[in-house]
Chain A
Amino acid sequence: MARNGKPRRAPRSNGKTNGHAKAAHWVGRKLKRKEDPRLIQGITHYTDDLKLPRMLYCTLVRSPYAHAEIRGIRTDAARAVSGVAGVFTAEDTASLGMVPCAIQMPDLKVPKHPVLATDRVRYVGEPVAAVVADDLYAARDAAELVEVDYEPLPVVTDMQKALSNDTPYVHDEFRSNKAFTHTLKNGDIAAAFKKADRVVKQRMLNQRLAPIAMETRAVLAEYLPGEHRLTVWSSTQIPHLLRTQVSVMLGLPETAVRVIAPEVGGGFGSKLNVYAEEGLIPWLAMKLGRPVKWSETRRENFTATIHGRDTINDVELALKKDGTVLGLRVRILADLGAYHQLLTPLIPQLTALMLAGCYKFPAIDIEIQGVFTNKMSTDAYRGAGRPEATYIVERIMDIAAHELGMDSAQFRLKNFPQPKEFPFTTITGLTYDSAKYQESLKRALQLAGYDTLRRRQKNGWKQGKYYGVGVSTYVEICAIGPSAATPAGGWESGTVRVEPTGKVTVLTGASPHGQGQETTFAQLIADELGIDPEDVSVVHGDTMAVPYGIGTFGSRATAVGGTAAYLATQKLKAKMATLAAHLLGSTPGDITIGRGHLTAKRNKKSISFGELVMAAYTARNIPPGFEPGMEATHFFEPSNFTFPFGAHIASVEVDAETGEVKVDKYVAVDDCGNVINPLLVDGQIQGGIAQGIGQAMWEELIYNEEGQLVTGSLMEYALPKAHFLPEFTLDRTVTPSPVNPMGVKGVGEAGTIASTPCMVNAVCDALSPLGIRHIEMPLKPERVWRAIIQVQAAPKEPEPAIVPALAAAAARKPAQKTARRRV
């Protein structure tokens, strides 16, 4: 990775939050991850690696139809296969609770969502029967023998058709496919459009994506009747919330359920959920009296793990001719799929909140309709609503800049709030904590050599070369979040325990699954206690070991979970100071902690960290009323979200003959507040940018009219590969958040949020001299090519064709799939 300019070491804090001086020497360092040696060597365990004595294997029979009535299911042939322990259908699992949805909204239609389909299937991949056997071979062989008598029903996969009068209903009981309408209005929108010199309109789609974590989902359950203890291993981002939900689904006391998230190989939001299998597999283990394991195949992962995005957006921006924005009107159709998963209806609401972007809109008017279709549910996927919002805002801003003939960077600078306006209240009602949007954009322009790129672009046009420069400035909502704004609590727990030998255990309710908090939390706590990160062990993902927590999602683990651990450490430090003062003949306020010692400033006496901790445990010489031991817990409730931001610039070249796009430069300047480990922050940004460019360029889940997922394998669904991308140039600005004492903001999703519109802006910018203003994602070469031949075939002013072959192709046939050119 290239980092142009001087690598800036993030200052540890804004200086206001910590009363006493300390040697802050681990935070801010590029420590390699403590997690990596075991992961790289393969000497650790994911759920699928676990094997228990007498364990059975489960395979699910899934619907091949997007919509059908189940007339009957015959399981006798499957049961007869040697090694099969049982075949189960909805009749057997009637006592199991529904797959939960945590979202409550007025008038929200919440369909029944059984773990196995009862009389109907509503999407391809819906589980219908479970086959359990001694080994997977027997289970798969038997699964092929389960006979389901389906009566296919009319299918609806198109949201607009789903809302029309003449449509099949996904759920007959609602007599409508509309699940909810959500509005957010503020300011005088009518006046804004009335006084506007110009109104810029564009429809833009945000296509359906698959999260594709490297590790697919897996669940293992074991029930020990003597202890009345159900243990569930699951590849999840939310072990405690899952425990609560599993106990509800199975009707067990929560104390009888233990959830363990072993190594989890990525989630991107797809494991921030409670799935049918997470209720079903424990139920099977209890029913059969043997451990049962289920591991998802990649095909199942495509069809039966939540999807992301999938919205149709009609956007209107009101502007003054000097480029000042006056108002934004957005109408969104959000495809929810057939059922609500845990947070399905929430995601579009996050989009609404973030639609002001980093601009001063005086008025906004948003209406979102959630629509049922015969597809897998959508839910949180990296960014969860914010990439959708940022795409809308950043695309319409770019289109507006082109229409006004303004430079897209200057146009943005004109509409940013000034740094002195923070905390800044947006038109959508959020309070942005801190930001300097101007600084990150200017830095990005400088690193990209923006003026040079623009010159190359102008010269290129003369030679028939199409270079484009894409700018995207973003703000995101992180550290989710204040509990009032979340369905199940937005706090986090942290316990810090100094063991008698002076080694430290940190228990966190966050549930890292690739983010590296075993390293960053160790750095953070090591600095607070004046010890080495090697001596700090971070434990997570086991509900029997860790106090109740919320989990890892929404770029919250460090800003909320890290703060909980930090504040627990402050309690410990106060306790240590009390004991040290007692032992050193001083007062607590006189004690400093650092470099493995506690020292009394006045009499210069000191005691080693180890001796002090041992004294707390032996407890033979402690002050009156002093509680022995050395452990503290803090449940941290944040007062606000945090709002990281930044500016990305992409430089591309479009081959106008083939429609192929080459990214030749990508610059990202991100601001996630103070940085604990620059290496990990860069890693998050790198991966995020790749994933976001993946949406812009290649990724796309396509359901056909029959509701079959036609891009449901890695042979059709194109993930970004390393050689598709240039080396990214990364830098950052540091604007600490006032919301937490460490001044951190969160960085897990930033790259994904900024890079998608950045790429589309770049490609549309490249083709702007041809009169192309918008091309839908993904920017497949054919889409780009069609957009080009379409404008060239357009009857208006006859421009010379760029390439004769193009003109010939354009003349040959009209476009089939229209790459939209709307005015």
Chain B
Amino acid sequence: MIPANFDYESPRTLSEALELLASREDAKILAGGHSLLPAMKLRLAQPALLVDIGRIGGLSYVRESGEHIRIGAMTTHAEIASSKVLQRFSPLLPQAACQIGDMQVRNCGTIGGSLAQAHPAADYPAVVLALDAEIVVASRTGEREIPAREFFTGMFSTELHPHEIITEIRVPRTDDQGIAYKKHHHPASGYAVVGVAVRLKLSVGKIDTVAIGITGVGQNAYRATAVENALRGKPVAAIREATAHVAKNVEVLSDNYASSDYRQHLAAVLTRRALEQAAGGRAK
């Protein structure tokens, strides 16, 4: 497929990239290219300038840093899936990363690109929400951190300003918690028809900490706060009933594969299964 005409730049430093991005009204950042390039080939996206950030050094890493794990924005899904540091200290991300797309997608797609794209059925948004991650973004004027819970604002829409670039994602250590990612894959696209990321901590048989990120169900990924509130301080036996609130106040998506009824039902079932798994099978 043949895209429309565009200019292409591949800066070697972040500040060059930020300059380029600010220089043109219709510039787009090219990271792994797994969302943008298909759209360009179909001429659904026709950016005038592509700023390829793939040749900027130092944007791909996973590092332990106190209570957090820091992940460079250009770290690929495959690198996250196989990161020993994450597997040890914050395994929810790798558990989701190995379920993204297929091997080719995982080898090229990046966490920063996926979060910036904010596809309503992408996997990472549910995970960063459940982890209360911080998304670090840079612009010509400096750096800021956006909490994951404030980041996703709608379908393909985020808190990110047009001239900002995601540089890092910070996720907390979860060694003391149960985690699980449950996903119903769309059989064609591999996107999450429903994806549920949970983090849970029990204290003397009661749910102490619980965080649930849901993707694929609404316009954008969200925290199932109604379920969380219904569970805090409750025994795991409360899970089944609480998950009925999984799509409370959410306008549930509907398409040829799954109607909103079915999606909502699936979200409840997968949330229950994820929570039960995170609780170590102690629910029932």
Q: A residues engaging B (CB < 8 A)?
A: 136-137, 140-141, 144, 297, 299, 657-660, 697-698, 702, 710-711, 714-719, 721, 724, 780-782, 785-786, 804-805, 808-809, 812-813, 816-817
Contacts and interface: CB of A to CB of B under 8 A. Distances in A.
B244 A657 contact: no
A813 B261 contact: yes
A762 B6 CA distance: 52
Given A657-B269, A809-B265, A136 B2 contact: yes
Given A140-B2, A780-B257, A804-B240, A714 B188 contact: yes
Interface in B30-69: 42-43
Contacts of B272: 805
A657 B268 CA distance: 11
Nearest to A786: B262
A718 B190 CA distance: 10
Nearest to B1: A297
A780 B4 CA distance: 37
Given A297-B1, A698-B187, A717-B188, 4 more contacts: A658-B184, A711-B256, A719-B188, A721-B187
Interface of B: 1-2, 4-5, 42-43, 184, 186-189, 240, 244, 256-259, 261-262, 265-266, 268-269, 272
Contacts of B2: 136-137, 140
B188 A715 contact: yes
Contacts of A716: 188-189, 256-257
Contacts of B265: 658, 785, 805, 809
A785 B42 CA distance: 35
Nearest to A804: B240
25 contacts: A140-B2, A140-B4, A140-B43, A141-B5, A297-B1, A657-B269, A658-B266, A698-B187, A698-B188, A702-B256, A711-B256, A715-B188, A715-B189, A716-B188, A716-B256, A717-B188, A718-B188, A724-B187, A781-B262, A782-B258, A786-B262, A805-B272, A812-B261, A813-B261, A816-B259
A641 B42 CA distance: 45
B10 to A, nearest CB: 21
Contacts of A721: 187
Given A804-B240, A816-B261, A781 B184 contact: yes
A211 to B, nearest CB: 16
Residues of A contacting B: mostly:
loop
Nearest to B194: A658
A102 B269 CA distance: 53
Contacts of B42: 299
Residues of B contacting A: mostly:
loop
B113 to A, nearest CB: 17
A141 B261 contact: no
Contacts of A140: 2, 4, 43
A714 to B, nearest CB: 6
B243 to A, nearest CB: 8
Q: Choose among B1, B261, B268 the residue with the greatest number of A CB atoms under 10 Å from its CB.
A: B261
Contacts of A299: 42
Given A137-B2, A297-B1, A658-B266, A805 B187 contact: no
A817 B259 contact: yes
B92 to A, nearest CB: 22
Contacts of B188: 698, 714-719
A782 B262 CA distance: 6
Contacts of A785: 262, 265
Q: Choose among B5, B259, B262 the residue with the greatest number of A CB atoms under 10 Å from its CB.
A: B262
B187 A718 contact: yes
A144 B261 CA distance: 40
A718 B240 CA distance: 32
A110 to B, nearest CB: 34
A719 B189 CA distance: 10
A722 B60 CA distance: 31
A721 B4 CA distance: 32
Contacts of B262: 659, 781-782, 785-786
A710 B259 contact: no
A141 B269 CA distance: 48
Nearest to B259: A816
Q: Choose among A141, A781, A808 the residue with the greatest number of B CB atoms under 10 Å from its CB.
A: A781
A297 to B, nearest CB: 6
A804 to B, nearest CB: 7
Contacts of B257: 716, 780, 782
Contacts of A808: 244
A382 B188 CA distance: 21
Contacts of A141: 4-5
Contacts of A780: 257-258
Contacts of A805: 240, 244, 265, 268-269, 272
A390 B4 CA distance: 47
A620 to B, nearest CB: 62
Contacts of A809: 261, 265
Nearest to B189: A715
Contacts of A659: 262
Contacts of A781: 184, 258, 262, 266
A817 B42 CA distance: 31
A717 B186 CA distance: 10
A813 B263 CA distance: 13
Nearest to B258: A782
A685 B274 CA distance: 38
Nearest to A810: B265
A757 to B, nearest CB: 20
A585 to B, nearest CB: 68
Contacts of A697: 187
B177 to A, nearest CB: 25
Contacts of A817: 259
A814 to B, nearest CB: 10
A606 B78 CA distance: 66
B133 to A, nearest CB: 28
A140 B4 CA distance: 8
Nearest to A724: B187
Contacts of A136: 2
A726 to B, nearest CB: 16
Given A299-B42, A718-B188, A808-B244, A782 B1 contact: no
B9 to A, nearest CB: 20
A656 to B, nearest CB: 11
B143 to A, nearest CB: 35
B126 to A, nearest CB: 18
Nearest to A136: B2
A141 B2 CA distance: 9
Nearest to B257: A780
A297 B38 CA distance: 13
A804 B241 CA distance: 10
B265 to A, nearest CB: 5
Contact of A710 (B4, B256, B266): B256
A204 B88 CA distance: 52
Q: Choose among B188, B189, B268 the residue with the greatest number of A CB atoms under 10 Å from its CB.
A: B188
B269 A658 contact: yes
Contacts of A658: 184, 265-266, 269
A805 B239 CA distance: 12
A813 to B, nearest CB: 5
B240 to A, nearest CB: 7
A660 B265 CA distance: 13
Contact of A782 (B43, B187, B259): B259
Nearest to A657: B269
Q: Choose among B244, B266, B272 the residue with the greatest number of A CB atoms under 10 Å from its CB.
A: B266
Contacts of A816: 259, 261
A510 to B, nearest CB: 33
A714 B262 CA distance: 22
B189 to A, nearest CB: 4
Closest 5 CB pairs of A and B: A718-B187, A718-B188, A782-B262, A715-B189, A140-B2
A145 to B, nearest CB: 12
B186 A718 contact: yes
A809 B244 CA distance: 10
Nearest to A694: B187
Nearest to A655: B269
